[in-house]
Amino acid sequence: GAVVSQHPSWVICKSGTSVKIECRSLDFQATTMFWYRQFPKQSLMLMATSNEGSKATYEQGVEKDKFLINHASLTLSTLTVTSAHPEDSSFYICSKPWDAANYGYTFGSGTRLTVV
C-alpha cells in the first residue's frame, strides 16, 4: 500500500499560538487528503478534504478560519490550527486514498496536540 508520513507525532503549544501539522505522500502523488480529529473516547471525525490546487472542503461545523488547510503540491498537505485553545487539544490524523475503488485508504500515524 501507499505511505503517508505525518509529523510532528506530538506537540505541546501555548494558548493563542498556531501549530502546523504536515502530511507527506512518500510514494506517489496525492491529489486528495482527508483530515480527521479524534477526541478522547470518541470517533475519528472527518474535518475536511484537501484537494491539490483548490480550496479544501470542510465538514459541517468545522471552522475554516481556525483550521487552515493547504495542499499546494501533490506530495504535501498541511493543517494549521490557528490561535489554538485548550479545547483544540486532540488527536489529528491524515489519510489519502490510494485505491478508492476498493476502499483503500492510507493513514498517517497521527499528531497528538496539547494546548496549555
Partner 1 sequence: GDSVTQMEGPVTLSEEAFLTINCTYTATGYPSLFWYVQYPGEGLQLLLKATKADDKGSNKGFEATYRKETTSFHLEKGSVQVSDSAVYFCALSRNKLTFGTGTQLKVEL
Of 31 and 82, CB closest to partner 1: 31
* 105 touching partner 1, by CB under 8 A: yes
* 8 touching partner 1, by CB under 8 A: no
Q: HEC profile for the chain?
A: CCCEEEECCEEEECCCCCEEEEEEECCCCCCEEEEEEECCCCCEEEEEEEECCEEEEECCCCCCCCEEEEEEECCEEEEEECCCCHHHCEEEEEEEEEEHHHCEEEECCCEEEEEC
Residue 79 in contact with residue 55, Cβ under 8 Å? Answer: no
> From the list 93, 111, 113, 115, which residue makes contact with partner 1 (rule: CB under 8 A)?
93
Of 15 and 109, CB closest to partner 1: 109
CB 46 to partner 1: min, Å: 6
Residues 12-71 that bind partner 1 (CB under 8 A): 34, 36, 38, 41-46
> From the list 14, 86, 87, 103, which residue makes contact with partner 1 (rule: CB under 8 A)?
103
Residues that bind partner 1 (CB under 8 A): 1, 4, 6, 9, 34, 36, 38, 41-46, 93, 95, 103-110
